[in-house]
Chain A
Amino acid sequence: MTEVSVAVKPPSTATKPRRGGHRSTKRSRREARAAYLFLAPWFVGLLVITIGPIFASLYLSFTDYSLLEEAEWVGWDNYVTMFTEDPRFLSSLQVTTIYVVVSVPLQLAFALALALVLDRGLRGLPLYRSIFYLPSLLGGSVAIAILWRKVFGAEGLVNSVLAVVGIQGPGWVGHPDYALSTLILLHVWTFGAPMIIFLAGLRQIPRSYYEAAAVDGAGPWRQFRSITVPLLTPIIFFNLVLEIIKSFQSFTQSFIVSSGSGGPADSTLFYTLYLYLKGFKSYDMGYAAAMAWVLLVIIAGLTAVNFLASKYWVFYGDTK
């Protein structure tokens, strides 16, 4: 996190301790007491809304619990069932993985490309930026998911456009081979937010680098390869980490497009949708808690891998 915020916005020097060691302990005790008072709601929230439930869900994941009866300890059963006896779980994992692996790079590629086109000096930048950003705000809503369902429906917008050129399109959302692609498109459609982060990053690159490179005879492509890309890697990395975490948790789109079923043929059964169905439709809450923990491990693992891999391609050298 910190490296990233460094790249986006240099830290102010004001964060340093303001005086040396000559503060009286009485004063610092008073300050600490004030701090804990200011943080009181946050501490309660941390305990009751976050940490407590995390551990409760770890406990529940080893039980069979349906909200109506007492939780019954079953050991690793839930985890074992998931990976050996539950094809729907495996297919939800597969669907979500495909979704993340395809849509995140595509979305970031669009975001980066548009940010490069819009970078500096282009007239109308604020307007373009707003237009491209708007879908990011709307994309997660039920209303847009409804729209998507109809745009890619059997008699939807896409097919009526195709009909003009004489192609009879399938019902995209109702077809197991295509339904997931429509959700991937929806995610790509919301490239505006990472685009804005890229734009902010591009603005941090000193113009003098390009001038020096131009003097040395570097063409546009060479400048892009040797200046823009390396200096932008921290931002690319930041966007990548964030988008992976976020898209693993996508729920609304798949729920609405499939009417809460994950269909057709489980082709849009996102991990979180299956978790919801298990926990709050079948009231198999122990199982849902175990799924939640598997999700946490997957996301934490991917994030860790990302950070480890970042050593080899993310360049922090001159942004300090």
Chain B
Amino acid sequence: MATPSRPIPFLFRPIRGGKLVKHVLLIGFGLVMLYPLFWMVSSSLKPEELIFRQPGLWPSEVTLENYRDGWYALKHPFGYYLWNSAVVTGLSVVANLVACSLAAYAFARLNFPLKRFWFAIMLGGIMLPHHVTIVPQYIMFSELDLINTIWPLVMPKILATDAFFVFLMVQFIRTLPRELDEAAEIDGAGYWRIFIRVVMPLCLPALATTAIFTFIWTWNDFLSQLLYLNNPDNFTVPVALRTFLDSSSDSSWGPMFAMSIVALGPIFGFFLAGQKYLIRGVATTGLK
């Protein structure tokens, strides 16, 4: 990646010391960008009354009280909501991996009537605003008596409606050499076997990208969970955090910050673990 032997590009052609200035500016800008996050972490460790008196990061007094208060502030301990979110998110990840790779294999490798047409429809699905379908979807799930279950959240994933990931995997599978499929075919493997034994193992990077993005998006998703989960016993993390905002006056920001950090923790973890896949995914398909 970094190729120091090559000439350095045009725009900021190095006057002497130019690089150093650039680094200083970048670090400064990065710090400004991340400052609110640092501030949230530091505030969560401060006693309530100090939060808004000290804009600085180093708390003069460190306490975990906010975390204890926040954890038990709602109907259930916060771990309960974390678990609910983990169930919804975990099922969504598995569903997306299976359903999207099945569809992607067909689009990338098999020939069938109207393939171009269906592919165009699939691409159109990426652009379709979710809101166009939510009202009838809500009515449908409510008629089926599935409000306050995980089905409205997971069913769309089981049915491969996250077209982004189908597209991502199609793009990826197309880059794999066809000779491998053909060799397996000569050995007598059917499509299913080729899919499971040849294509999927080579798709691991694309599967990883899909898994990480599905995790992050589902974990963050607010609108669907707000719509479909009304019973505090079924609340996931985003909906629980939101009730925090309703139930507490402006005075309990400490616990709310503490639980917000707990909520962001898994995303941050996945970000650290899966940066490579995240960045590759964004670069190749424009995912967010």
Which A positions have Cβ atoms within 8 angstroms of B? 1, 4-5, 8-9, 11-12, 14-15, 17-18, 28, 31-32, 34-36, 38-42, 44-46, 48-50, 52-54, 56-57, 60, 67, 114, 116-126, 128-138, 140-144, 146-148, 150-151, 153, 155-157, 160-161, 163-164, 189, 193, 196-197, 199-200, 207, 210-211, 220, 223-224, 227-228, 238-239, 242, 245-246, 248-249, 251-252, 255-256, 259, 272, 275-276, 279-280, 285, 288-289, 292-293, 295-296, 299, 303
Which of B10, B220, B250 gathers the greatest number of chain A CB atoms within 10 Å? Answer: B10
Q: How long is the Cα–Cα vector from A210 to B11 in the complex, in angstroms?
A: 11
Q: Which residues of B contact A156 (CB under 8 A)?
A: 52
- B256 A146 Cβ-Cβ under 8 A: yes
Pick from A46, A292, A303: contact of B134, CB under 8 Å: A292
- A49 B113 Cβ-Cβ under 8 A: no
- A295 B52 Cβ-Cβ under 8 A: no
Q: How long is the Cα–Cα vector from A254 to B30 in the complex, in angstroms?
A: 25
Is B249 an interface residue, CB under 8 A from the partner?
Answer: no
- A259 B11 Cβ-Cβ under 8 A: no
- B160 A143 Cβ-Cβ under 8 A: no
Could you mark each residue 96-110 of chain B with 1 if its beta carbon is under 8 Å from any beta carbon of chain A, else 0? Answer: 000100110111001
Q: How far is the CB of A116 from chain B (nearest CB, A)?
A: 5
Pick from B1, B53, B128, B284: contact of A50, CB under 8 Å: B128
Q: How long is the Cα–Cα vector from A160 to B36 in the complex, in angstroms?
A: 13
- A228 B52 Cβ-Cβ under 8 A: no
Q: How far is the CB of A195 from chain B (nearest CB, A)?
A: 9
Q: How long is the Cα–Cα vector from A287 to B242 in the complex, in angstroms?
A: 26
With A48-B159, A120-B3, A160-B52 as known contacts, state yes or no: A57 contacts B171, CB within 8 Å: no
Could you mark each residue 126-152 of chain B with 1 if its beta carbon is under 8 Å from any beta carbon of chain A, else 0? Answer: 111111111111111010000000000
With A38-B110, A41-B102, A249-B131 as known contacts, state yes or no: A200 contacts B4, CB within 8 Å: no
- A252 B33 Cβ-Cβ under 8 A: no
- B129 A157 Cβ-Cβ under 8 A: no
Q: How long is the Cα–Cα vector from A9 to B285 in the complex, in angstroms?
A: 9
Q: How far is the CB of A223 from chain B (nearest CB, A)?
A: 4
Closest to A128 in B: B26
Q: How long is the Cα–Cα vector from A248 to B129 in the complex, in angstroms?
A: 9
Q: How far is the CB of A241 from chain B (nearest CB, A)?
A: 8
Q: How far is the CB of A278 from chain B (nearest CB, A)?
A: 10
- A143 B264 Cβ-Cβ under 8 A: yes
Q: How long is the Cα–Cα vector from A279 to B226 in the complex, in angstroms?
A: 13
Q: Which residues of A contact B2 (CB under 8 A)?
A: 120-123, 125
A-B contact pairs, 22 of them (CB 8 A): A31-B112, A38-B110, A45-B159, A49-B156, A53-B136, A54-B133, A56-B140, A114-B29, A117-B25, A120-B2, A123-B2, A123-B23, A125-B2, A132-B30, A142-B237, A146-B257, A193-B286, A228-B10, A245-B127, A246-B288, A279-B135, A288-B135
Pick from B99, B139, B246: contact of A259, CB under 8 Å: B246
With A155-B52, A288-B135 as known contacts, state yes or no: A130 contacts B275, CB within 8 Å: yes
Is B24 an interface residue, CB under 8 A from the partner?
Answer: no
Which of A5, A38, A42, A120 gathers the greatest number of chain B CB atoms within 10 Å? Answer: A42
- A134 B271 Cβ-Cβ under 8 A: yes
